[in-house]
Structure 1
Amino acid sequence: MNFAKNVNHFISSANVVILSKGGGWMSFMARRLTKQFKTQNYKQTVAHSFLHPNQKVNIFKNNPDIGLIHHLNSGQLVTIDTSTAPKSQILYFHGGAFRVPMNDDQLQMIRSIATQTESRLQIADFPLLPTYSSADMLNFATSALQAVVANGLPTFLVADSAGAALAVQLLFRYPDKIAGTSLISPWLDFELTDAQVVSRATNDVMLDIDVLRQIAAEFTDGLSNGQWLDVFSPSDSLTGSLQLFYGENELLAPNDKKFATTLTATTNMTIDVISFRDAFHDYILWDKLPETKKTKKQIVTFTRDQRGA
């Protein structure tokens, strides 16, 4: 959503942040921006971009800053070296409701994290609906992980929104290949019938629940029985470390809480949940928000700690 760049001037003047009693960050920037989204009916703009995306967009084509592009299973694995001697690598899965190509805001966000962690950036530019199916996406994601881990660098998964669904499938299948996972505003539930989720539908400023359900139906139609692991029923032998970031105002927040609670109760994973009181879905694409800066800082620290330096 390149709209993020258009509102930087709006939020740059509001830089007061306080800590709420529950431990979540409350940012006046996020609150003012949320009000602007409501006024402009930004939810409708997002819904239109999901249903009618321009899939001809390819931010990697003819881009001199991009390294290697490896065409793989109907998608492309894009490699960008942010360090001459990388200490790890980040495999990134972008959001966009499985339909929208990766955009410049997402590239800027993940590249800044890779640079600060001295990591090689591996972007999983997966095939999109409706031309390709969810099975195609899963096959690509698996092939991308296999290609990435072959170089021996510690591999971290970072994903936002819909991209997190693919990342979690890899985590559940290949936990021994992943050094750590960071999820931001993940979309993990494709039914969207939970009463707590439904009750948030009207007030969410970013996501239209009916549009998400429509896309979810399209996504699940491409899967055969057993092909997609239930993220709310993980193996009790699952290990690893995971960060989960989300805004408490998000439509999907109840699912995020359920996911974290389930992993904590039934697996051997170490889970760190960071919620922001006033953040909206995929807030991390607005780089001037205090919530974004805090999230990036925590991902950088997590990555360094998990690899040992």
Structure 2
Amino acid sequence: MHEWHLDGQKVITLTPHRDGSGWHVIYLHGGAYIHPLARPHWGIIGAIIAATGASVTVPLYALAPENDYRRATALMHSVYDTVQKQAPGASIALAGDSAGGNLALNFTLRRRDMGQSLPQRLLLFSPWLDLELRDPRIRALEARDVILAVDGLRQAGAWWAGDANPACAQLSPLYAELTGLPPIAIFQGDADIFVIDARTFAARCVTARVECDYREYPGAFHVFVGATFTPEARDVFDRLSLTMPPSG
């Protein structure tokens, strides 16, 4: 494990004990942009390494409400450029759960719009796709979700947006133009209020001719992959091992 810093923010890089696969994953943790990386995130990261043989870099980005999206976005550009320079032959994937999935998507969309190189793959675990959760069907599902609540998320989203509109396409990728994105894999439980927007997003990927492997798991809760011992989580990591074969 190697710790380094950019703009006063810690970044951690982990490498597999055995020969790597040629993949490098940049992993962005969830927590509604207000909570730091937690123990279940390390379980997900460890499972990704075990399944794919990838090295994984984890930016511990500055959180709201003290910070908005701008500082994390600047960090991501620096981290991505550093990974490209230090591992020039690697295939890069961006991965994230919940808010981290939101950040991974938004960052990739920005790079596309700037004409910069894109990751080879996006891996999204229960991604947060609309910071304002505007689809009215979400409220109807809220009673089934044992983790998330709409009102608290909307407040966290407003903090993250700062003086920007949290509903804008630059922060809520559900409403972005998706053409030109790399292949996306989404792993989503149906006992999670984010499932409503995940289904809509997957359908929009099809319309935009973006390759999207959408997997929905009955009864699974928000970021169920954090319970790495469950059959649903094991299925996800088995699929990653198949979709991220050794490269380079």
TM-score, length basis structure 2: 0.89
Aligned amino acid, residue 213 of structure 1: R
Corresponding residue of 2:101: 164
SS in structure 2 of the partner of residue 172 of structure 1: helix
Is the counterpart of residue 216 in structure 1 residue 157 in structure 2? Answer: yes
Corresponding residue of 1:290: 231
Q: Distance in 2 between matches of 1:284 and 1:91?
A: 17
**Which range moves more in the overlay, 234-243 or 149-158?**
234-243
* CA 1:105–1:148: 2 relative to 1, 3 Å: same
- How far off its partner does 1:219 sit? 1.4
Structure 1 gap ranges (5+): 1-66
SS in structure 2 of the partner of residue 157 of structure 1: strand
Aligned amino acid, residue 146 of structure 1: D
Q: Distance in 1 between matches of 2:52 and 2:163?
A: 36
SS in structure 2 of the partner of residue 256 of structure 1: helix
* CA 1:273–1:237: 2 relative to 1, 3 Å: closer
- How far off its partner does 1:177 sit? 2.7
Residue pairs, 1:270-285, within 5 angstroms = 270-285=211-226
Is the counterpart of residue 112 in structure 1 residue 47 in structure 2? Answer: yes
TM-score, length basis structure 1: 0.72
- Are the equivalent residues in 2 in contact too, given 1:141–1:166 (CA < 8 A)? no
SS in structure 2 of the partner of residue 78 of structure 1: strand
Q: Distance in 1 between matches of 2:71 and 2:169?
A: 11
Aligned amino acid, residue 214 of structure 2: V
Which of the residues 127, 139, 143 maps onto 2:78?
Answer: 143
Q: Distance in 2 between matches of 1:227 and 1:250?
A: 22
Residue pairs, 1:1-309, within 5 angstroms = 67-86=1-20, 87-150=22-85, 151-152=87-88, 153-174=90-111, 176-223=117-164, 228=170, 230-235=172-177, 237-266=179-208, 268-304=209-245, 308=247
- How far off its partner does 1:231 sit? 1.4
Q: Distance in 1 between matches of 2:8 and 2:204?
A: 33
- How far off its partner does 1:217 sit? 1.4
Corresponding residue of 1:21: none
Q: Distance in 1 between matches of 2:179 and 2:218?
A: 33
Corresponding residue of 1:27: none
SS in structure 2 of the partner of residue 115 of structure 1: helix
SS in structure 2 of the partner of residue 201 of structure 1: helix
Q: Distance in 2 between matches of 1:244 and 1:83?
A: 28
Map Cα deviations across residues 240-293 of structure 1 (whole Å, 9 max, x no partner).
Answer: 211011011211111111111112102x32110000011010111112211110
Q: Distance in 2 between matches of 1:260 and 1:99?
A: 27
- The aligned length equals 240
Query: Rg: which structure is higher?
Result: 1
